[in-house]
Structure 1
Amino acid sequence: MKEEHRSGCPINLAVEVLGDKWSLVVIRDMMFGNRRHFRELLHSSEEGIASNILAARLQRLTQHGLVSKAADPSHKQKVIYSLTEPAIQLVPVLAHLGAWGRRHLPVTRELSVRAELLERGGPELWAEFMDELREQHLGIPRPEGAESVFARLQAAYEAELARE
């Protein structure tokens, strides 16, 4: 069955895939929270996604080639979700969305600190983070001795939580 699109406009097509209420939040949680199992995505999201909505979004993201799913080798009855290369290439988009949100919306400090670090780090940091995501999700090794961007982002978030 061929999918119908409103137009061939690249912005329209991207919005058709990513523009619903939850898709980018699911990708965000996989990317910045390293949440790879359904239960982690369901219970660890700040926004409280419903299980039926999460299941639908994961299925849709898989159909569009942004997420892959495989049997989890550590647990026979679990599935592990991974970002694909097209989803990993959303890092700059999410960095820009986070920067825009920080400037124009009533964000909390602890939830915006990662966006601030990504904005300050710019394209160089985004490229390092994408390499790290490729290693985590696609098994592509990154350069020897590369610092973990994920660990830096997580440490900044945890430091903000400790301040409260």
Structure 2
Amino acid sequence: MSHVFDAIGSFFGSSDTLPWTDSDVIQGLEQDAIGTRLGYDKESEKSESYMRLSWALVHSRNLSDVQRGILMLEAALDKKPDDDQKREIFYLLAVGNYRAGEMARARRYVDQALVISPDFRQGITLRKLIEDKIAKDGVIGIGIAAAAATVVAGGLAALLTKKR
């Protein structure tokens, strides 16, 4: 019997193996980004600082941080990055959208990263996480629909027996 409960727990539990960041890390990287913006002339140092901050934001447990990271990464795409940078940006956008519950967008972004680099192991792993989450959500949705149909059918049966 405990195996059944373990299986149910693992199905409904989170299998998210992506790293998480906390507010202290984000705060430190924000200070670095501010210092980079104020103290350096090199665009590459500024870009690296923003990418580190974006990485931390999309790996946050705080949804507003994740959304802020997504916005920063979308802005980075407008700067015409090279292919390696694009791959990283697409990957991080996929992570952010995955964390925000936007599975269709997450899948599109990870697919774009994998077009640039088909053997990108982090991207392949994230693609599997996304597909597993989509499948799990579909099964849960079917279960909810089946439960609702059962309740409606039960209600109709009760009305019919009451009329007789």
Superposition TM-score tier, normalisation by shorter sequence:
under 0.3
As a proportion of its length, which structure holds more strand? Answer: 1
As a proportion of its length, which structure holds more helix? Answer: 2
Query: Structure 2 length as normaliser, TM-score?
Result: 0.27
Q: Which has the higher contact order (CA 8 A, sep 6+)?
A: 1
